[in-house]
Amino acid sequence: MLWPNRELRGYRRVIIIVAPTVTDPARSTRLLTTTFLLGVLTGAAYPVCAQQNSTIIDVGGSRLHVIIENSKFRLPERDIVDWIRRSADTVVNYYARFPTKQAYIGVRAAAGAGIKHGRALRHGPTVNITMGVESTSNDLEVDWILIHELIHLAFPRVPDRHHWIEEGLAVYVESIARANTGTLTPEQVWRGFVQGMPHGLPRAGDRGLDFTPTWGRTYWGGALFCLLADIDIRKASGGKMTLRDALRGIVNAGFDMTDQVDSLSTVFTIADAATGTLALTVLYDRMKDSPEAIDLSSLWDQLGIDTQQQEIQFNERAPLAALRAAITAGDHTRAAERHYKDFTY
């Protein structure tokens, strides 16, 4: 969900659901309805356009129903579908499968260029994206919003006090997954983290991640938790396991956004079992109800990230330089060195 400063509880509206009859699942079909509405009807949510094209994509063992509003997009439909496929492939690469057996992807038109916003819904499940009609191929190439929303599908719904893990994971994994597939450079990833992570630090009156639902703590506090967890898992396992293995363990256990769990501890127990560590459980116990101070300057120094220059530069002699390189390494490269020196953040 990408409107952290806006109240969304009234966003859902009644929708008209039109299901195409397709004799050939690989064939696109054209649907006509009178309005484009988003919302919930009898427990199901699907994107519907005033005039729309529907295409089916098979990816990672799953089926995606892509519905694109038939507006005057500057880009041809095939380019939009290819962008959706690439985004889904990035998620598949990270999780080793698509998180759900099927999903509905709706693309709604808006004025201007670029991807405006998106939202993931458990019904379907569905990801709705609003895209400017003047969008170019470059706008789609640099987009992060669709991948962010698709990542939401890979984690079960948790009580509101744990919302920070849902958004924090999407922020962190989106950057790492794109780096692993070569879409982002390591410099781009760490520049974003260096600029964003300070927003996630506790401030006066903070009561821990579970009890401080501010924008900064929800999005960047959650992302900082994920970075620290990734570091802890790699260190505890001698570099053999990562946060990605933990998150794959959750998906492999059969959990996704359509599931509801009562406790985040339950999810972390499953994730820790996948890595053979207690990293997530221990870190959560420390940060859930206490404003743990994190020295980001020391963390960047230990990772070998020089933040004093205008552009991000790396110090390969830093204690955790190999770990840092491994986090953003492309999957086509050999794993970075797996021996990390002791480090306390």
Q: What are phi and psi of 145, to 5 degrees?
A: -65, -45
pLDDT in tens, 138-153: 999 999 999 999 999 9
> What is the pLDDT at residue 222?
98
User: Radius of gyration (Cα) for the chain, nearest Å?
Assistant: 20
Buried b (16+ CB within 10 A) or exposed e, 210-220: bebebebbbbb
> What is the pLDDT at residue 332?
58
> What is the pLDDT at residue 31?
33
Q: Is a pLDDT exceeding 80 seen at residue 318?
A: yes
pLDDT in tens, 174-232: 999 999 999 999 999 999 999 999 999 999 999 999 999 999 999 999 999 999 999 99
Query: What band does 14 get if pLDDT is binned at 50, 70 and 90?
Result: very low
Instruction: Check residues 159 and 308 and name the one with the higher pLDDT.
Output: 159
> What is the pLDDT at residue 158?
96
Q: What string of DSSP letters covers 276-326?
A: TS-HHHHHHHHHSSS-----HHHHHHHHTEE-SSSS-EE-TTSTTHHHHHH
Q: What string of DSSP letters covers 161-230?
A: GGHHHHHHHHHHHHHHHHHHTTSS-HHHHHHHHHHHGGGGS--TT---GGG---HIIIIIIHHHHHHHHH
- Cα(47)–Cα(77) distance, integer angstroms: 17
Query: Average pLDDT, stretch 106-132?
Result: 95
Query: What band does 331 get if pLDDT is binned at 50, 70 and 90?
Result: confident
> What is the pLDDT at residue 330?
87
pLDDT in tens, 262-303: 999 999 999 999 999 999 999 999 999 999 999 999 999 999
> What is the pLDDT at residue 51?
55
Instruction: Check residues 188 and 2 and name the one with the higher pLDDT.
Output: 188
Q: Is a pLDDT exceeding 60 seen at residue 34?
A: no
- Residue pair 327/176 in contact (Cβ under 8 Å)? The answer is yes
> What is the pLDDT at residue 27?
35
Query: What band does 336 get if pLDDT is binned at 50, 70 and 90?
Result: very low
pTM of the model: 0.84
Q: State the pairing for strand pair 313-314/305-306.
A: antiparallel
- CA quadruple 251, 256, 262, 268: dihedral sign: positive
- Cα(43)–Cα(22) distance, integer angstroms: 23
For the chain, give the percent of residues with pLDDT over 90. Answer: 75
> What is the pLDDT at residue 333?
52
DSSP 257: T
Q: Is a pLDDT exceeding 70 seen at residue 125?
A: yes
- Cα(145)–Cα(118) distance, integer angstroms: 7
> What is the pLDDT at residue 38?
41
- Cα(39)–Cα(121) distance, integer angstroms: 9
Instruction: Check residues 37 and 163 and name the one with the higher pLDDT.
Output: 163
pLDDT in tens, 49-106: 445 678 999 999 999 999 998 878 999 999 999 999 999 999 999 999 999 999 999 9
Instruction: Check residues 32 and 60 and name the one with the higher pLDDT.
Output: 60
